[in-house]
């Protein structure tokens, strides 16, 4: 069989997240890209392929990969734009990974970038609401993105007795860690009352259960083993990538709809694929990782992720959050960079932003960025990124490791 090569992250960069009216999309991409160049001591000319993750639709440029390639100085190297909704830049990393692993190139960059505020808020709500099966969910029934996840929240409440206050605890945690992440969108500590008193967006989800709309970029430079050794003493290896696709219609999700659980079947499938590659036991997954970033576009989504990833049994996600086991120092620190919920969720840059945080964590450089309080203790040398597109329409699980994969 054709042998894949080992691939390592050798450089990472991240823009400030938020409302970035001060920059265009290419200028925003440059912020992350240039930081990744400095981080790796490489130049734009060293890049052999640029994979741009950009969901688009709300921003002016139709060909963001071209505009960003030119501005970042990677011309005339090949480029493309990939899309997997909110998992777009995990798909970009997967693509760049395969280019390097296959021997097509030695060095490639996955650059996630999203400029959501180029369109007014109502246009964005309209566009994101269409992220299902258009005619059967949107045209006549006007679903919204919070609405899709609210269906999961209601399902969870009916099955396991989830309370809105439980979900609020997740928002409180992620806002707390965002206050100490200098790149995060929200800088205000909140409490359970803040969440409970916020207005309903899609019952039972309230404004503070939801992530914000965000402009932002994050870049990940990937290299083959030989090249990586020349660039860095601390390569962070890609140790597994799982990818799965769920049904367009939420009504067709069998496990959820049969009330077997309220998770995402695609996330379970993606996790199992990635765990198999990295030799991880699904039923006891938390003990293999020092830190994780999971897709908390809504508070309920983080709770579902705990269970879909095998961090706990079905229905026990509640216990993890009630016992603060996903704070730094707990069983498994989750979203201690603020998560989508409070760091922000620039659709096409979210996956690469997760991998930026996790690379910094594994290199033990996160303390320098955000303070010791948010630096996980690195014992196992392994971290996990769980990035969902749509409502489980796409699922990507990526495992990063300080130890080189055994092939």
Partner 1 sequence: MSDLNEIAKKNIEEKGLPLIDEKKTNLPLYISLRELPLRFQFGTAKIQKFFEGLKEGKIYMTQCRKCGEKYFPPQADCPKCPESEMNWIPLKGEGKLLTCTMIIVKPSTFTHYDNYIVGIAEMEEGVRVLAWLRIDDPKKIKPKMKVRLTTVRRKPEGFITYEFVPCKQD
Asked if 43 interacts with partner 1 (CB under 8 A), we say no
Find the shortest distance in angstroms from Cβ 256 to partner 1. Answer: 8
In the list 106, 137, 166, 302, the residue contacting partner 1 (rule: CB under 8 A) is 137
Asked if 144 interacts with partner 1 (CB under 8 A), we say yes
Using CB under 8 A as the binding rule, the residues of this chain from 114 to 133 that contact partner 1 are: 120, 122-123, 125-126, 129, 133
The answer to whether residue 345 is catalytic is yes
Task: Determine contact, residues 234/22, Cβ cutoff 8 Å.
Answer: no
Q: Which two tokens stand for residue 365?
A: 């450089």
Asked if 251 interacts with partner 1 (CB under 8 A), we say yes
Find the shortest distance in angstroms from Cβ 113 to partner 1. Answer: 19
Cα R_g (the chain), whole angstroms: 19
Distance CA 232, CA 256 (A): 44
Task: Determine contact, residues 71/30, Cβ cutoff 8 Å.
Answer: yes
Asked if 61 interacts with partner 1 (CB under 8 A), we say no
**Considering beta carbons, is residue 48 or 269 the nearer one to partner 1?**
269
Pairing of the two strands 394-401 and 382-389: antiparallel
In the list 135, 233, 283, 379, the residue contacting partner 1 (rule: CB under 8 A) is 135
Strand partners, 109: 50, 221
Task: Determine contact, residues 325/318, Cβ cutoff 8 Å.
Answer: no
Q: Which is nearest to 55 in space by CA: 5, 12, 118, 8?
A: 118
DSSP secondary structure of 64-129: HHHHHHHHHT-TTSEEEEE-BTBTHHHHHHHHHHHHHHTTS-SEEEEEEEEEGGGS-HHHHHHHHH
Using CB under 8 A as the binding rule, the residues of this chain from 3 to 32 that contact partner 1 are: 19, 21-22
Number of residues in contact with partner 1, rule: CB under 8 A? 43
Find the shortest distance in angstroms from Cβ 122 to partner 1. Answer: 4
Asked if 202 interacts with partner 1 (CB under 8 A), we say yes
- Segment interacting with partner 1 (CB under 8 A) among 25-33, 67-75, 99-107, 203-211: 203-211
Place of tokens 């139709």: 62
State the catalytic residue, choosing from 86, 210, 293, 312.
86
The answer to whether residue 175 is catalytic is no
What is the distance, to the nearest Å, from the Cα of residue 232 to the centroid of all Cα atoms in its chain?
A: 25
Asked if 142 interacts with partner 1 (CB under 8 A), we say yes
Place of tokens 């309920």: 300
Task: Determine contact, residues 30/15, Cβ cutoff 8 Å.
Answer: no
Positions in the binding site for partner 1 (CB under 8 A): 19, 21-22, 60, 120, 122-123, 125-126, 129, 133-138, 140-144, 146-147, 150-155, 158, 199-205, 249-252, 257, 259
């Amino acid at each position: 069989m054709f042998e894949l090569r080992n691939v390592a992250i050798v450089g990472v960069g991240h823009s400030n997240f938020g409302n970035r009216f001060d920059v265009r999309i290419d200028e925003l991409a440059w912020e992350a890209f240039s930081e990744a160049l400095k981080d790796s001591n490489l130049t734009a000319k060293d890049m052999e392929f640029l994979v741009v993750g950009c969901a688009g639709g709300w921003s002016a440029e139709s060909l963001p990969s071209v505009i960003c390639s030119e501005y970042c100085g990677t011309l005339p190297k090949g480029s493309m734009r990939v899309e997997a909704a909110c998992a777009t830049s995990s798909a970009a990393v997967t693509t760049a990974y395969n280019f390097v692993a296959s021997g097509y190139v030695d060095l490639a960059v996955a650059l996630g970038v999203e400029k959501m505020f180029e369109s007014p808020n109502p246009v964005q709500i309209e566009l994101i609401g269409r992220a299902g099966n258009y005619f059967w969910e949107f045209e006549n029934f006007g679903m919204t993105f919070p609405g899709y996840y609210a269906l999961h929240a209601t399902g969870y409440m009916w099955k396991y007795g989830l309370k809105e206050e439980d979900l609020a605890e997740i928002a409180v945690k992620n806002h707390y860690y965002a206050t100490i992440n200098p790149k995060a969108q929200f800088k205000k500590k909140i409490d359970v009352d803040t969440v409970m008193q916020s207005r309903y967006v899609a019952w039972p989800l309230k404004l503070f259960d939801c992530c914000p709309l965000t402009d932002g970029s994050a870049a990940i430079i990937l290299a083959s083993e030989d090249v990586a050794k020349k660039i860095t003493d601390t390569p962070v290896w890609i140790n597994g990538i799982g990818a799965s696709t769920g049904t367009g219609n939420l009504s067709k999700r069998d496990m959820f709809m049969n009330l077997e659980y309220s998770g995402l079947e695609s996330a379970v499938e993606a996790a199992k694929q990635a765990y198999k590659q990295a030799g991880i036991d699904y039923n006891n997954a938390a003990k293999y990782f020092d830190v994780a970033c999971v897709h908390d576009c809504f508070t309920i989504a983080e709770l579902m992720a705990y269970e879909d990833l095998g961090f706990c049994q079905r229905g026990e996600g509640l216990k993890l959050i009630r016992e603060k086991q996903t704070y730094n120092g707990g069983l498994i620190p989750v979203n201690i960079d603020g998560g989508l919920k409070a760091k922000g969720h620039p659709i096409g840059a979210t996956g690469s932003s997760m991998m930026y945080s996790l690379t910094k964590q594994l290199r033990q450089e996160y303390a320098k960025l955000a303070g010791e309080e948010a630096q996980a203790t690195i014992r196992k040398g392994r971290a996990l990124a769980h990035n969902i597109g749509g409502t489980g329409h796409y699922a990507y699980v990526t495992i990063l490791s300080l130890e080189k994969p055994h092939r």
